[in-house]
Amino acid sequence: MDSTFIILTLAALLTSILSGTIGMGGGILLLAVMAQYFPLAVLIPLHGIIQLFSNTSRVIYSYKYFQKHIVIHFAIGAILGAVIGSQVVLVIPDTIYKIILGFFIISLTFIRSPKFKVKSQFKWISVGGVSTFLGILLGATGPLIAPFYLSENLRKDVLVATKAACQIFTHLFKVITFFMIGFAIGPHLPILAVMTAMVFLGNYIGKLLLHQVSDKWFLWIFQGAIVCLSVRMIFQGFLVLSK
């Protein structure tokens, strides 16, 4: 078993514990880890499959709590976002993508998003559409849409379950899009199977820790890891471009 396999396995476990505990952050952190090892054409669909199972497991563990009206409207928007996103899937060099992804992840992590108080019935349709569209292009958008959930003043367990249920549709339609344009899953089945098992375990642990651990402790670790991984991606990208 090589070091890459071990790192990806642990990343799947630990990031799913993070998401299961505070409701967000794990997906984009896992994307940053996986970006160190996979090219763009493999990274986004593979990450999407893992996140699809991760969010599904979170809903299974907390199915009593998610808000159905939010999820239904989000799913409608996700369909529209996937249709549009499938027409503009990025075809750019991996080096450029990693630079863009590095800056994108850092901005999502540290730039404070405004609070939204829109109560329109189209709010969640719009959020679902934008989230899925950007997810197809860049991989993960959890922190970007988090303020919309926070503005609903949901209890922590309801927020975690509702956001996970919505993200199922984002990742489902993203994965379908990449399968339609030719993504081959076969060569990646071994690591996919192990990482999927780890996210189920991680989300179960996260559920147990949901009301036991301070969010601040997890956020410090999350932000520190995000900075290190993103800076590494940006540095590697510019290093290759300079040659």
**What's the pLDDT tens digit per position in 188-216?**
999 999 999 999 999 888 888 776 766 66
Q: What is the pLDDT of residue 91?
A: 65
Two tokens, residue 54: 């991760």
> Which tens digit of pLDDT belongs to each residue from 134-169?
888 877 777 677 778 777 777 777 887 888 899 999
**Domain extent listing, the chain:** 3-242
Count CB-CB contacts under 10 A for residue 113: 13
As a whole number of angstroms, the distance between CA 138 and CA 97 comes to 9
pLDDT digits (tens, 9 = 90+) for 7-27: 999 999 998 888 777 766 788
CA 92 to each of CA 39, 43, 45, 49: distance values in angstroms, whole numbers, following the listed order:
11, 13, 16, 22
Average pLDDT across the chain, whole number? 82
In degrees, to the nearest 5, what angle opens at C-alpha 42 toward C-alphas 82 and 240? 115
Does the reported pTM lie above 0.75? Answer: yes
Residue type at 52 in one-letter notation:
L
Q: Which of 45, 25, 8 is nearest to 225 (CA)?
A: 25
Under 8 Å between Cβ of 23 and 143: no
